[in-house]
Structure 1
Amino acid sequence: MLGCIYTKLKYKLIAMNKNILNDILNKLKKLGCDQSDVFFSKTTSISSSSRLGKTEKTEKSSVSEIGIRAIIDKRQSIISTTNLEKNNIDDLIEKVVQMAKVVPKNEYCGLARPDVLKEFNSIDFDALKLNDPFEPSLALIKEKVIALEESALSNNKIINSEGAEIAYSSSSYLLMGSNGLDIEMNKTHSDYIVAVLAGNKNSMEREYDYKSKVFFDELGDFEKIGKQVSLNAIKKLNSKKLKTCKSDVIFDSKVSSSLLRNLFGATNSQSIIKKTSFLKDKIMKDVFRNDVNIIDDPLMKKKLRSRISDCEGIESKKKYLINKGKLQFFFNSLSSSRELNHKPSGHASRSVSSIPGISFSNLFMENGKTNKTDMIKSVKKGLLVKELMGSSINYSTGDYSRGASGFWIENGEVLFPVSEITIAGNLNEIFSSLIPADDLEFNFGVNAPTCLVENLTLGGK
């Protein structure tokens, strides 16, 4: 009975919000807009943080926001507000129209043609399972975050804590356009972070763990997580400095996803338009080994960046970014696809207050055939990277430089922790020699297994 009442209330609220957005679209048309869209979002969030056994902060908030975009004669403007009073919205409608009349022209801006919009229905979205039916209470989150930090502090070699935090949010989105665009989404998001310091008379080392999931109960056992973080911190004590050398590098699965973010930076159509990507001429050419596949899949169940379409109404589909080593496409929005004369890839992304940009969905590298243990055993001399710091990436040339720490490997054995290292190379060479292991896990929006890269420069003492 209660579920039935809730469902009726939910659809009543959706209908009410749609009426408001339709009213805004009609007013924009009367004021001379060629095209327009309106984006409404409501997010309820709960979080609690703890440090050294004491609750530091608890928050519970609910924020509603609306964004209005106007396009007149290939000029576009956008305005947003959290003040949803009718008089304020009417004022903003007038302002956004005036803004659109004076900003520079963009020949490529504009909404999707009505005939290319995906047809949406609730079954499409519900099948992705992006809305956790369980809403944790603030009391439960406070209890769990204290347990998380206490377990991380339980070892006497842990000398301090940077704290722990657990957060949950539930968001509803409604995006409507003058072209018939009509997208509804409801999504939940839960995450935690914990960081502690281990120390002895010779050294002090920091370790952290972070995870993000759609469903709260998939974050894991917080006591086990805390204990593992403390053990990882202790293993890093008494780290050594390396002499500058060339060696193989194993990027642990905790950090290997950063290489996919680098790949995205080089395959974002904005980089191609500006001619600032070292991959600009690589479509259908070898970039990785022929046993490497990298996929962008927005239709995975219970995954953080799943969706039935992008924010411009272009249908979401599973796509191979890298298929048997070859680059297949560049990520684009409608605007950038028009400028490059490419087919829309369905990767437009935006917030309430921004025009569409470009982003991936669930981007991941498929598992390889080697397990992590055997991969380590295969290395005569090399570095197992557990943490990366800073970043100096030149996307025009592919030059790569990052700070790192981890463990030194000799003759297939992990010998001792190392720190204050700089890894230097070129992304062309990194990608072409990369070998994936078989330990892929989906804990973020970008995921990759542990990866071996041969012959990189390690800068040390």
Structure 2
Amino acid sequence: MPEFLRLQSLTEQLLSAARRAGADQADAVAVSAAAVSVDVRAGKLEHAERAEGVEIGLRVLLGGRQACVSASDHSERTIEDMAARAVAMAREAPVDDNLGLAEPDQLTLDTDSSRLDLYDHESEPTPEQLQDAALRAEAAALQVEGISRIESASSSHSRRQMWISATNGFSAGLGRSGHGLSTIAITGEGTGMERDWAGESRAHLSDMPEAEEIGRLAGLRTIERRGAKKPPTGSFPILYDERVASGLIGHLVSAANGAAVARGASWLRDALGEQVLPDGFDLIEQPHLPRMGSSRIFDAEGLPTSERALVSGGTLQGWTLDLATGRKLGMPSTASAMRGTGSPPSPGVTNLALTPGEKSREELIRDMGRGLIVTSMLGSSINSTTGDYSRGASGFWVENGQITHAINECTIAGNLREMLLRLTAANDVRDWRAMRVPSLLVEGMTVAGE
């Protein structure tokens, strides 16, 4: 039986069992996944792993209550037991009148995801081919003068097929594939040791860069970190390199998540319709980009997705909502529901793009005069209610508009609401990123170093 038909059959069995057990409403998920990863070191295979299986999940709703159960066994006995257990759990759960499936007229009429081209139908790479790619990346990194050794070079492939069905009539599937390659290189020894990395991932193998390109980039980035030391303490401009700038915007995205807003645990909870980025900045969700791993034409509750602006002209346009959080906040869902087999839907985003600037990264460095370029973040302390921000960082020091040396062991701090209003964007946004965010300059942050 083709895989999608098998997964669809499993979800239908789960829904039938839920009805027999007494559920008012139910939705079911069946996921077939396989992943292979290979790690090499010193020119030899160090670790290889393969995981494969089918998981099923069931959510039942009963009188404003819900419960979720999941299993890796999908025998008839297990399915009947899951349904009985879920209904018993739901009867003990607290009542939430915001829970419930989508109305039939809310459901998407387009469930064919093939136009998104998310699944690589070419032959899966063999473990030997994965090992060869990792070895080539490792060798390329070692060819960079000054690299002492490679901590790891890893290559991976995965495939995932999912089917979702619900008692409101929704039934659809989606398949995704993934290819990844990364390398971590080391320079120096003992207390003078520094490391950096490079890695890429794509839905299609044909879109991946060459292994040698990734390995060499890891080596070059690592060499740049030689002689790193602590920066001075004070207030300085900070340039978030495009490698980490998406994390800064990610804090805004998290604060605009309806689940956090509904709990009152968001520093943006009172900012709807207010300025959160400088004039001219848009933050757009693009769920229909082809060959991008997080694209989707429907969400986990069967609603049709579409492009939307989280921020337009610097102004916050709305929250990221699934059905339940939308009902709590008195707003329609933004078709943002995501879920796994063992959890209910929750809001999440797909592909995001931030408006790039006109100046190059080099021009921003020149204009900042004296300050810090951050290329790596270490740990975090973010107050979700106030937006107070403190993170460990490493990168490069800038004097007179020129990079002088690498820095490490410092902490940068500020308040996210204020930081995001002082952004200047570079024009170095890169393709093939789920968050397409350029390097971002933030004025007047606190640096704690020497």
Aligned to 1:363: 352
* Alignment equivalent of 1:131, drawn from 94, 119, 122: 119
Distance (Å, rounded) in 1 between the aligned partners of 2:299 and 2:209 = 30
Aligned to 1:18, the other structure's residue is in SS state helix
Query: Structure 1 residue 16: deviation in Å?
Result: 4.3
Aligned to 2:156: 167
Report the AA paired with residue 107 of structure 2. L
Query: Structure 1 residue 201: deviation in Å?
Result: 7.9
Aligned to 1:82: 72
Aligned to 1:3: none
Q: Summarize the alignment of residues 1-12 of structure 1 with structure 2, pairs less than 5 Å apart.
A: 10=2
Q: Summarize the alignment of residues 419-438 of structure 1 with structure 2, pairs less than 5 Å apart.
A: 419-438=408-427
* Alignment equivalent of 2:382, drawn from 393, 411, 433: 393
Aligned to 1:307, the other structure's residue is in SS state coil
Conserved in 2, the CA contact under 8 Å of 1:331 and 1:358? yes
Aligned to 1:199: 188
Distance (Å, rounded) in 2 between the aligned partners of 1:71 and 1:202 = 57
> Please, what is the CA RMSD of the aligned residues?
1.6
* Alignment equivalent of 2:43, drawn from 53, 57, 61: 53
Conserved in 2, the CA contact under 8 Å of 1:292 and 1:436? no
Aligned to 1:254, the other structure's residue is in SS state helix
Asked if 1:184 corresponds to 2:181, the answer is: no
Asked if 1:240 corresponds to 2:229, the answer is: yes
After TM superposition, the structure 1 stretch with the greater mean CA deviation from structure 2, 312-321 or 155-164, is 155-164
Distance (Å, rounded) in 2 between the aligned partners of 1:268 and 1:121 = 25
Query: Structure 1 residue 17: deviation in Å?
Result: 3.7
Conserved in 1, the CA contact under 8 Å of 2:42 and 2:150? yes
* Alignment equivalent of 1:345, drawn from 334, 337, 343: 334
Distance (Å, rounded) in 2 between the aligned partners of 1:193 and 1:423 = 27
Query: Structure 1 residue 366: deviation in Å?
Result: 2.3
Question: For the structure 1 residues 87 and 416, does the alpha-carbon distance in structure 2 shift closer, same or farther, using more than 3 Å as the test?
Answer: same
Aligned to 1:150: 139
Asked if 1:115 corresponds to 2:105, the answer is: yes
TM-score by length of 1: 0.94
TM-score by length of 2: 0.96
1:218-249 deviations in whole A, cap 9, x for unaligned? Answer: 22111122122112111111112222111111
Question: For the structure 1 residues 146 and 115, does the alpha-carbon distance in structure 2 shift closer, same or farther, using more than 3 Å as the test?
Answer: same
Aligned to 2:84: 94
Q: Summarize the alignment of residues 300-379 of structure 1 with structure 2, pairs less than 5 Å apart.
A: 300-379=289-368
Distance (Å, rounded) in 1 between the aligned partners of 2:373 and 2:204 = 31
Conserved in 2, the CA contact under 8 Å of 1:199 and 1:234? no
Query: Structure 1 residue 316: deviation in Å?
Result: 0.6
Aligned length: 449
1:239-261 deviations in whole A, cap 9, x for unaligned? Answer: 12222111111100000010121
Distance (Å, rounded) in 1 between the aligned partners of 2:213 and 2:324 = 47
Conserved in 2, the CA contact under 8 Å of 1:273 and 1:340? yes
Report the AA paired with residue 266 of structure 2. S
Question: For the structure 1 residues 335 and 201, does the alpha-carbon distance in structure 2 shift closer, same or farther, using more than 3 Å as the test?
Answer: closer
After TM superposition, the structure 1 stretch with the greater mean CA deviation from structure 2, 202-211 or 234-243, is 202-211
Runs (5+) with no aligned partner, structure 1 = 1-8
Aligned to 2:95: 105
Asked if 1:250 corresponds to 2:239, the answer is: yes
Aligned to 2:175, the other structure's residue is in SS state strand
Conserved in 2, the CA contact under 8 Å of 1:38 and 1:175? yes
After TM superposition, the structure 1 stretch with the greater mean CA deviation from structure 2, 255-264 or 211-220, is 211-220
Distance (Å, rounded) in 2 between the aligned partners of 1:97 and 1:63 = 26
Distance (Å, rounded) in 2 between the aligned partners of 1:371 and 1:308 = 34
Conserved in 2, the CA contact under 8 Å of 1:260 and 1:364? no
Distance (Å, rounded) in 2 between the aligned partners of 1:278 and 1:85 = 46
1:269-294 deviations in whole A, cap 9, x for unaligned? Answer: 12211222221121121111112111
1:344-386 deviations in whole A, cap 9, x for unaligned? Answer: 1111111111111121111231221111121112121111111
Report the AA paired with residue 280 of structure 1. R
Asked if 1:266 corresponds to 2:220, the answer is: no
Conserved in 1, the CA contact under 8 Å of 2:37 and 2:50? yes
Conserved in 1, the CA contact under 8 Å of 2:377 and 2:394? yes
Conserved in 2, the CA contact under 8 Å of 1:213 and 1:444? no
Runs (5+) with no aligned partner, structure 2 = none
Report the AA paired with residue 35 of structure 2. S
Aligned to 1:188, the other structure's residue is in SS state strand
Distance (Å, rounded) in 2 between the aligned partners of 1:16 and 1:383 = 54
Report the AA paired with residue 440 of structure 1. V
Question: For the structure 1 residues 97 and 177, does the alpha-carbon distance in structure 2 shift closer, same or farther, using more than 3 Å as the test?
Answer: same
Distance (Å, rounded) in 2 between the aligned partners of 1:431 and 1:89 = 49
